[in-house]
Amino acid sequence: MSVVRAAAGATVNSAVWRQLRARSPFVLLLLTPVVTLPVSALLIFTLVGDVDAEALGLVQVEWTREDGRLDRTHYFYFDFWRVWLLLTVPGVINLLVAWWLFHRLTYVRLAAALGVLLALLRTFVVPLAAITWLTADVIGDGGLLLQFPLGESGLGGSNPSRGVATSNLLITAWMGGLGMWLVTFGLWQAYEPLMARFWPALEPPRERVEGEPRRWHGFASRR
């Protein structure tokens, strides 16, 4: 009985992979945020950890005067490599796009190569690059740290919590991911018409129907 179940499971998995490979590799990259966003949030909020700024002698509050009004900036510190790792781990699923590199058609393998490049950027570069470019600074005191500022106007506000800083850090990383998602969507829409225009000699995964729009709806299916 267990042998039958194992055979049935293998058949289902094989069918799933066949269906997946019949689609554009860009589709996988468009769908992975369904997994990567909640997993990255879970990892960041549970494992990002605290850096003891006071013990390291780092600035925690900075006062400034603006038009006679005192403002303050609270600084929170996160371990650079830990944040990078926790943001990277969920994105490893993007690398499954490399499966299409073994497709028999050059047409598909070129799309897969572009997909792998996008996957590498989305997984290893873009999330932390967005954080360091838009909000945080990288400092070397006490190890490589992310210095994340939260500004506060006047004296009446309450002290912002580390949870707020962590949320803002995560949202900033997601903003970078959104930018790459839009790039992926654009490539998904543009790849087939561009290939038809500039590289018509390559065999596409399916024959075109006369009068069909030159858009990539799927490798093995058409609308």
Q: Is residue 124 part of a domain?
A: yes
| Domain assignment of residue 216, yes or no | no
Q: How many domains does the chain have?
A: 1
What does the pLDDT look like over 153-200, one tens digit per residue?
A: 555 556 678 888 999 999 999 999 999 999 999 999 999 888 888 888
Q: Specify if 176 maps to a domain.
A: yes
Residue 180, number of CB atoms within 10 A of its CB: 21
CA 140 to chain CA centroid, nearest Å? 26
In a domain, 220, yes or no: no
Mean pLDDT of the chain: 81
What's the whole-model pTM score?
A: 0.77
pLDDT per position as a tens digit, 44-98: 999 987 788 878 888 888 877 766 667 788 889 999 999 999 999 999 999 999 9
In a domain, 171, yes or no: yes
For residue 195, tell me if it sits in a domain.
no
Asked if the structure places residue 206 within a domain, the reply is no
Is the pLDDT at 1 greater than 60? The verdict is no
C-beta separation of 44 from 83 below 8 A: yes
Which residue range(s) make up the domain with 141?
Answer: 21-183
Given the DSSP bridges, would you call strands 69-79 and 61-66 parallel, antiparallel or unpaired? antiparallel
